[in-house]
A and B are shown apart, each in its own frame.
Chain A
Amino acid sequence: MRTLFIVFTALCSVSCEWAADSLSFTREEIPVYREKAASPEPTANPTRLKVMAWNVKYGACRIDFWFDFWGDRTQMTTQEVEGCLTKISELIEQYNPDILMTEEIEVDSRRSAYIDMVRFILEHTPLRYAAYGETWNTRYAPSEGVGRVNLGNAVFSRYPIVKAERIRQEDRTDQSALVKTFYIHRTVTRAELDLGNARHVAAYVVHTEAYDNDGTKQKQIKQIHGLMTGETLPFVIGGDFNELPPLCDEKAAAGTADSCEGKMHLKGFLDERASSVGTDYAQPPYTPSVMKPFFDEFTPSIELARYGNTPDSQQMYFTHSVLGPDGTNDEGVKGNWNRTLDYLFVQKNQSWEAGSTDVIQGPGRLGITADVLRLSDHAPTAGTWVLP
């Protein structure tokens, strides 16, 4: 029996995993990946850095998955994922960022054909280093046959990443213990980049909760704000905050100056399918006021003034649509970008190069030629950070 135990222990040391990783840490270092291909060295002693943040929807492009309610896919073929990642990489290469923050990137998930997307992007773009922070690592999610999932956020850089870590965010409290075990645990990924001459900057990538009804997302956003406030290096932060811009206060009474009425849609987006209501994937109410401290205390790539005060004026900075351009909603309206959830910020005393910031919604924006609406359910947001 003792021999048996030793044999099993030895076998387990080769590859035994927990059913799901609870991500039991507050803050921990994570590995750094380096490209195998040899991309050109970046500019020495840069004064500016091109930055892009993009939720890449696990390399699915516009394949509709079951929790979106417009389709019922649960997995993709290698051919489909590689085809999508190739287009995503082409866009990245065309914009040619020095720093790329990605959310919903996967390295070992059944639904995305177990493709290591971090490695794929490293080998197919000029980006040379990456820090990948897992947010969801489960051997088998017993829901719709989803199976193995390893999803997270990543910071890619042309400059060496000298330190990488992930910071745990609060979990939802409105789920059963069983669901919670196999569910995503949000983290913030932080990478420290060496620009040369002992100049270091920090890059953060975030992706907050999308479906909670217990205020988890708001807590996570406040925690992120706290992290930024405590950062000692010059930093850039980007990602999918799952929250609308603070153009109004959702709590303000109708008719008051801060009211959202007529100023910005808070619900009823064209891509919300009626059948999602009442499910675990229904869109909870947005609370844009929680984003106000970010716009007040940091420098956004798109200032509030640029959004304007009407849904029409905000349209050109929308970053998200569950429904793609080849689908129509139940009223027959074609899918299109319909709300802003993704942002880039740098410190208050820093700036973005004039005319360099935009949401790359489609061809012609920041010189991009790709049909971006077909590459993900989020549009990249990008700009050139003027270094201090």
Chain B
Amino acid sequence: MNALLFVLTLATAQTGDAASAADVASTPAAVASPGAWPRPARDTADVGPKGRWSTGFFNPTRYALTDGFELEANPLLIPVAPNLTGRFAILKKELRLTAEAGLLVPTFGMRLMKGYFFPTWATSTENIGWMLVPRVGLLLSGTVREHDVWTVRGDFTFRIPLGPNSATPLESFIAPLDLLFAAPTTGYLARVGGAYDAALGNWFRVRGEVNVYLSGPTPHLFVGGEDKGQLSPRSPLYVTGHVGVDIATFKHSRVTVGVLWANYDQGAKAVVRDADGFADRVPVRSNNILPTLDYIWSGGFGD
């Protein structure tokens, strides 16, 4: 059960595919009642102002320590996968530029998933190794039509091994999980993406996001320290799209619902037939469609 909770939380929180966090844009501050102003755009380069915070069930918690620096973490994950990200505002004008630097230590959480998503290794000493997984990134945002915000981003997550590691890529059909474990199991994950977050009146926001990811190469399989060769190579390219609607509730909170689409190589093959009617199996990229849902609170507006 712990493992399942861990999966669900990580799946929606850490990849940016699901709606992710933070009511901290610098759009109108005080909101008297739901719908009085559009909710700020989410997951942009905006940082602060000081004291602004937000949190969701699955989305991470953000807190602005100063007008130009905030911390982000997922408290639910901290007991099993300590994580912390710093967001530094570099430019806060019409264009906003923010740098992110974070660190995740996923090993304990991954070990909780042994028996389900990873082997138990009951008869050997193989295990999921300790590792540090830093992430660095840049986000650039701009505002159009008063309350709409566009954002482009690039980030790079990589693994610093602290010992031998027998975990291999998940190759599941849940794209956020595969992306989450891509760096810990292949060595790195690079992402470029863009999003447009539009206000539809005072009550709704619609957000569209596209990301392209490149993971590290399929690793070699080591058994008892012996290199057994490379596991069957998969395409390292992942493409995801997310469309979501935020619905304002109460004073500063919102419900966010959406759909995530992901296209990547899961090892699937399709049966095709030749002119004589004989069959063959050809590799195909798989498509996943997953629902996303969260409730996000925010505060620190000075009201």
Contacts and interface: CB of A to CB of B under 8 A. Distances in A.
A113 B220 CA distance: 12
A70 B120 contact: no
Contacts of B172: 139-140, 147
B228 interface: yes
A74 interface: yes
Interface string B48-91: 00000000000000000000000000000000000000000000
A8 B228 contact: no
Nearest to B273: A31
Interface in A110-160: 110, 113-116, 119, 139-140, 142-145, 147-148, 150
Contact of B232 (A17, A32, A115, A142): A115
A14 B287 CA distance: 8
B283 to A, nearest CB: 8
Contacts of A75: 168, 221, 231
Given A71-B123, A116-B281, A119-B281, A139 B232 contact: no
Interface in B274-296: 276-281, 284-289
B267 A148 contact: yes
A72 B126 contact: yes
Contact of B271 (A31, A80, A114): A31
Interface string A60-88: 00001010011111111111100000000
Contact of A78 (B126, B232, B261, B279): B232
A12 interface: yes
A107 interface: yes
Nearest to B122: A72
Contacts of B287: 11-12, 14-16
Contacts of B221: 75-77
A108 B119 contact: no
B2 interface: no
A4 interface: yes
B159 to A, nearest CB: 18
Contacts of B171: 110, 140, 147-148
A152 to B, nearest CB: 12
Interface string B246-288: 0000000000000101010011111101001111110011111
B163 interface: no
B120 A108 contact: no
A139 B172 CA distance: 7
Question: Chain B interface: which size bin?
Answer: 35 or more
Interface residues of A, number: 45
B229 interface: yes
Interface in A29-73: 31-34, 64, 66, 69-73
A176 to B, nearest CB: 15
B268 A148 contact: yes
A114 B243 contact: no
Nearest to A5: B259
Nearest to A148: B267
A69 B277 CA distance: 43
Nearest to B174: A140
Given A4-B243, A107-B281, A145-B119, A15 B170 contact: no
Nearest to A139: B173
A80 B229 contact: yes
Nearest to B7: A142
B161 to A, nearest CB: 19
B203 interface: no
Contacts of A17: 173, 268, 286
B231 A78 contact: yes
Contacts of A32: 277-279
A19 interface: yes
Given A33-B278, A69-B123, A113-B231, A15 B168 contact: no
A108 B229 CA distance: 19
Contacts of B118: 144-145
Contact of B173 (A4, A14, A19, A79): A19
Given A19-B173, A108-B267, A34 B119 contact: no
Given A32-B277, A72-B126, A108-B267, 6 more contacts: A64-B123, A78-B230, A79-B229, A107-B269, A108-B269, A145-B170
Interface of A: 4, 8, 11-12, 14-17, 19, 31-34, 64, 66, 69-80, 107-108, 110, 113-116, 119, 139-140, 142-145, 147-148, 150, 275
18 contacts: A4-B243, A8-B259, A14-B284, A15-B286, A16-B287, A19-B173, A32-B279, A73-B223, A79-B230, A107-B281, A108-B267, A113-B232, A114-B269, A139-B173, A140-B172, A145-B116, A150-B269, A275-B122
